[in-house]
Amino acid sequence: MAPDGGLYIPESLPDISSLIREGPLPYPELAARFFRIFDDDHSPGEIDALMARSYSTFPDVENAAPLVQIADNTFVLELFHGPTLAFKDFGLQLVGNLFEDQISRTGMPVNVLGATSGDTGSAAINGLSHKENARVFILYPQGRISELQERQMTCTGARNIFPIAIDGSFDDAQNIVKELFGDLEFKARANLSAVNSINLVRILAQCVYYIHAFNQLPENKREPLHFVVPTGNFGNVLAGWLTARMALPVESFVVATNQNDLLYRLFTGGRYQPGRLSHSLAPSMDIQVASNFERFLHYHLGGNGNQTSRLMARVKSGDPVEVPDLQPGKFTATRTTDNGILRNIRAARDNFGYLPDPHTACGFEDINPAVPTVILATAHPAKFPETIRKAVDEQSIHPALEALKARQPVTTNLPATCGAVRDYLEENILKG
């Protein structure tokens, strides 16, 4: 977040056609070439090393994001091969290494504080576990995240990781985090840093796999290309859209929502109006505020910062906001209820022989078999075994998750008050 309350964006969006024409590159090399355009703090050699390290945790480093063809025109981009089995590893492995780099340059410790409803927390924890002079405090709602997601955070065995189960909802956890970050004196004294979904490094890291996907497509399946993106905070799909503005040839993006259909209503009706949050079978998409939408709005309004901040102020007040000229644009949208998720999992398995996780299943809504389409698979199905069992009566397992079951969870229970969390941080943070 920028000091004026807005969100950082790149100074300019370069034309990356030459990077696209290169053809398939090993993933860390592609990422390094892409980041060299934006990062002028590090030398090219340092960027190469950062990318090599960040994607070394993926089993197939060279092809960290494999593209799987499931029908003549239909492909799945598998983004769940990272250490926590969801796409957030692409951003957060790199963010973890950038924090490490910053700590060694400045000599100052970092205390990361965040709230999670599932995948962000585990990916942030994995990106920073065992890093020296960094501690991670992640708040999550007690009893409201899946057992495996909780184990991913509480069974790391890393002494710099502090999961905190809050007696309250995800919103309570997030509000506590916001309040602590809002206390500038405490934030500075405690060297607090954030890793949430508005972090621009995460967005840029996600641009890379759109290029990687395009480079893997057969030449005759590249036009007109559609990307289907299961969406919550609008981060992942924004990354794709930015890549298209940098000259990746994409016909359209399908914003695939669950029953929390804020973005579906926006892109079909032109109106941004938060509704009431409902808990779905795709919990990482359960949002009623799409934080990264602000970045899209800025570009959509022709870079008019004043108009953007006026509209965002109205969005934050909870009033409905009409967004002009969204149709016809690069976005279309779908919405999938919980029953639809179960039905889509079944249909994907029966029609394509492919088993999607409940989030990815939202991307299987209304696929057009006549045009080249890439569906982003955002998590591994084994992260959500109950839903998979309900949908197709099958067991979905992954060895990394099985291994967690043997470990002893370590967590701290706190009441959902700012004071309790602040006291706990005072006792446990690294001081500069």
Ligand X SMILES: *Cc1c(COP(=O)(O)O)cnc(C)c1O
* Catalytic machinery residues: 88
Beta bridge partners of 322: 271
Q: Write down the least CB distance from residue 79 to ligand X, Å.
A: 9
Nearest-approach distance from CB 313 to ligand X, in angstroms: 22
From the list 326, 325, 329, the residue with the least C-alpha distance to 251 is 329
Number of H helices and E strands in the chain, helices first, is 18, 13
Which tokens in the block code for residue 343? Answer: 């039905």
Residue number, 255 or 425, with CB nearest to ligand X: 255
Our CB check for ligand X shows the closer of 160 and 354 to be 354
Task: Compare residues 111 and 152 and give the one whose CB is closer to ligand X.
Answer: 152
- Structure token pair of residue 383: 């992260």
Listing DSSP states for 328-376 in one string gives SSSEEEEE--HHHHHHHHHHHHHHHS----HHHHHTTTT--TTS-EEEE
- Residue in this structure with the two tokens 């016809």, named with its chain if needed: 328
> Residue 270, SS3?
coil
Please provide the size of the chain in residues: 432
Q: Which of 102, 165, 164, 154 is nearest to 129 (CA)?
A: 154
Helices 338-352, 385-392: crossing angle, 10 deg rounding: 70
Closest CB to ligand X among residues 103, 256:
256
Q: By the criterion CB under 6 A, which residues form the site for ligand X?
A: 86, 88, 119, 197, 230-236, 284-285, 359, 378-379
Distance CA 57, CA 49 (A): 13
Strand runs (DSSP E) across 155-286, as ranges? 161-167, 192-193, 226-230, 252-257, 271-272
Residue closer to ligand X by CB (options 194, 418) is 194
